[in-house]
Amino acid sequence: GALLIQLLFALAVAMIMVRPFKGNRFFSTIVIIPFGISTVVSAWVFSEIFSAIGGYANSFLQIFGVAVNWHSSLTSELGIVMFSDFWKNTPLIALILFGGLSSVSPSLYEAAAVDGAGPLKRFLHITLPAIAPLMGIALLIRGVSEFNIFALPLVLVGYYPSFMNTLIYYNYQSVLNVGYAYSASVILLVIIMIYAAIVLARGRRNQNMTK
């Protein structure tokens, strides 16, 4: 669900970036900056923002007479991690989709407009097929990275939350069963490779259909 939200938001950002308007370069630069910041630094920044004591978020909410303990429950901590991950990694998806949108010839949109196709039809029949393979690649990259998420919750929350624990990390850290953890990592690698093969195969099929 979080990856789908990232994809939709990144698509909207990429469609803004590809349009020529005054301030486009400034907007694109602002969008890309979060991805260039290291995970540890971005996690530290958000830990300061959502700190229960003296945090910037609570300082702002106190104007309205509201104070929130962002670390009061596992759900709120998960929300902080998801929001931070969204801010950090959405620009990567936007850049990938921006590359696909930039490759679409404007003449295709002009011809479709002459034929009476509205914005929705142009998006569904021109834009979406052109970027579908890249959307799959973006989801593949982000999906694999989510399997390896570690530093962000560790720095942001102050410990590695049990609700984000992986089978590999649990067996290594808690049970100290290195052999079992190694076997689980191999199985996870196979699952990721199968997922990657499916995504790439669907991307090639969609690309062949558009030719």
Whether the per-residue pLDDT at 180 is higher than 70: the answer is no
* Average of per-residue pLDDT across 180-205: 73
The whole-number pLDDT of residue 161 equals 55
pLDDT in tens, 29-49: 898 898 888 888 888 888 888
The whole-number pLDDT of residue 12 equals 92
Residue closest to 185 by CA, chosen among 141, 146, 148: 148
176: left (phi over 0), alpha (psi -120 to 50) or beta: left
State the sign of the Cα–Cα–Cα–Cα dihedral 92, 12, 2, 99. negative
Whether the per-residue pLDDT at 185 is higher than 80: the answer is no
State the sign of the Cα–Cα–Cα–Cα dihedral 188, 190, 191, 192. positive
What CATH class has 2-159?
mainly alpha
- pTM for the full predicted model: 0.75
SS (H, E, C) 112-168: HHHCCCCHHHHHHHHHHHHHHHHHHHHHHHHHHHHHCCCHHHHHHHCCCCHHHCCHH
Q: Locate the domains of the chain by residue range.
A: 2-159, 165-211
pLDDT in tens, 56-115: 888 888 888 877 777 777 778 888 888 888 899 899 999 999 988 988 888 888 888 888
pLDDT in tens, 120-177: 888 888 888 888 888 888 888 887 777 767 777 777 776 655 555 555 565 555 555 6
Q: Which residue has the tokens 């698509």?
A: 11
Q: Which residue has the tokens 């914005």?
A: 119
